[in-house]
Amino acid sequence: MGFRYHSTQMHEVVENGVRKVKKNSVNINNGQGTKTVETVENGKTRKVTHKLNNSEIKKIAKNQFIPGLFKSCTDCLNTRSPSNTTRRNSKKKGSSRK
């Protein structure tokens, strides 16, 4: 049987009456693993999942701390636009179709 690991951390912050919940989780099963960051703000849930590389899995198996493990996930969360918004192309000035 392979190595199994699961860890979940939740952080809750209330700023200006807005409740923000951030959930970090790591799952490893048989040598493959994922790291996930999920945020809930104003009832909207955003989730990003990335695969763990071999060096991260080895460090977790040895119970070593990995600084910045979730940084790539949170960067994607912050740069991603919400899925329910639509993007529209603005018309360029001076261009006309014939």
CATH number of 4-78: 1.10.8, 3.30.2450, 2.60.120, 3.30.1300? 3.30.1300
What is the side-by-side strand order in the sheet with 44-51?
A: 4-15, 18-29, 32-41, 44-51
Residue range 17-31, pLDDT digits in tens: 889 999 999 999 988
Rounded to two decimals, the pTM is: 0.71
Higher pLDDT, 10 or 95: 10
Query: Across-strand partners of 12?
Result: 21
Angstrom distance (rounded) from CA 55 to CA 5: 15
Which region holds residue 80: left if phi is over 0, alpha if psi is between -120 and 50, else beta? beta
List the chain domain ranges: 4-78
Supply the pLDDT for residue 84. Answer: 47
At 83, is the secondary structure helix, strand, or coil?
coil
Supply the pLDDT for residue 33. Answer: 95
